[in-house]
Each structure stands twice: as C-alpha cells, then as structure tokens.
Amino acid sequence: MKMSSRELLLSAITGMIALFGLSYLLAMPRIKEWSLLREKRAEAERRIGLTRRMIEQAPAWEAKLKNLRRKLPQHPPEKDVTADLLIRIEKLASSSGLTLASRDLEKETRSADMYELAANCKWEGKLEPLVQFLFALQQEDAILDVSQLSVAPNEKRLLKGSFTVYCSYSRTKPGGAAERTETKGQQP
C-alpha cells in the first residue's frame, strides 16, 4: 500500500499534533508545579529579607528595652506594691479633677524579670479632667499604661466609665541588686 504525498503530509501533521498534545498533557502538571515553586521561592525571599531587617534592628530594640527597664521602679521581693499603685492612681486622678468611684486590683503577674499589676477603676467626671488624667498617665513612661477605657454619659451631665491601669515594675534580689537578666544574643 502506497501513500500519496498528500496522505504523508496529513499523517505527519497529525503525528505532530498528537506529539504536541501528549507533550502538553505530560508537561502541564510540571509547569504548574514550577510556578508554585517560583511563588514559594518569592515568599521565602520576602521572609528572609524581613528577617534580615529585623536582625539589623535588634541592637536598637535591645537598647530601647534596656533604657525602659532602667526607668522601671524597683521594689523588694516582700513589698506589697498595691498600696503604692492605688496612691499613685488616686493622686493622678485628684490632681486632674477626675473622681474615682472604685478601684479593684488584680493579682500580680510576672513575665521574665518584670512584674505587672492591674487596677480596674470606675470613674466619673468631665471630659477635660479625663484627658488630663490620661495625659498624666502617659507621662509616667513605661510605668503606667491604661487600657479598656469606656466612656458613657451620666444623668448629671457628667461622663462616667471604667478603665484598667497596668503598672510595670521590677523586684530587687534579697542582696539588693535588681533582679534583671541581660538578653544578649536573644531576639527581643
């Protein structure tokens, strides 16, 4: 059986189309896999860059942390800090004209060599004394911090609400030295 030149050409074209189709079917999963790998590589390079920038910033953050730790007040291990915290909050509130209706203290928490004590306070007053009180708290650096502030109108044309004040401090060791551990070589 002899094939004409036209039949040979058509069979060659059909063979090439079948070859390309088969190649496409076999190569498509690999192409998708390569594109996924390319995306993962780009994400990994982005993370590496971010990590490098964080490592470069570590000395600056460690210096800031060390500076803030120096500002923290130090108390002996046996001293109850709750009275000092309540006196400080009451003094700041009265100097700014804010009335504290109640103050409830939470249990002292420890994180590494730093301690924290929270006071939940209910208050009453006008907006200006509240702003002055919050500003006075902000001036205490890392020692006092307010969170969970709520404000509502009162029937006496005043505002009322609640907030939580967190007090940070450190404890001294029984020998008198501060209970601080340096974090050289560790990430902040």
Distance CA 169, CA 143 (A): 7
Find the range with the poorest average confidence among 20-24, 140-144, 170-174: 140-144
Q: What is the pTM of this model?
A: 0.58
Residue type, position 97, single letter: G
Which pLDDT does position 156 carry in this prediction? 76
- Alpha-carbon gap, residue 47 to 52, rounded angstroms: 8
The helix (run of H) or strand (run of E) holding residue 75 is strand 74-75
Dist CA 73 CA 171 (whole Å): 8
Average pLDDT over residues 64-77: 82
Spatial separation of the C-alpha atoms in residues 185 and 130, rounded to whole Å: 42
Tally the C-alpha atoms within 13 A of residue 151's C-alpha that lie toward its C-beta.
13
Q: Flag whether pLDDT at 54 surpasses 70.
A: yes
Answer whether residue 181 shows pLDDT above 50: no
Most confident by average pLDDT, 14-18, 134-138, 167-171 = 14-18
The fold of the 74-171 domain, in CATH, is: Alpha-Beta Plaits (3.30.70)
Reported as half-sphere exposure (CB side, CA atoms, 13 A), residue 185 has a value of 0
- 159-171 and 74-75: which strand pairing? parallel
33-47, 85-99, 146-160: range with highest mean pLDDT: 33-47
In which band, very low, low, confident or very high, does the pLDDT at 142 lie, cut at 50, 70 and 90? low
- Mean pLDDT computed over every residue of the chain: 85
Q: What is the pLDDT of residues 80-115, one digit of tens each?
A: 888 888 888 899 999 999 989 988 888 888 887 888
Q: What ranges do the domains of the chain cover?
A: 1-71, 74-171
Query: How many Å apart are CA 66 and CA 157, to the nearest integer?
Result: 45
Q: Mean pLDDT check: name the lowest of 24-28, 58-62, 143-147.
A: 143-147
Percent of the chain's residues with pLDDT above 90: 36
Please identify which residue in the block is written with the tokens 């020692």. 143
C-alpha span between 60 and 64 (Å, rounded)? 6
CB 137 within 8 A of CB 145: yes
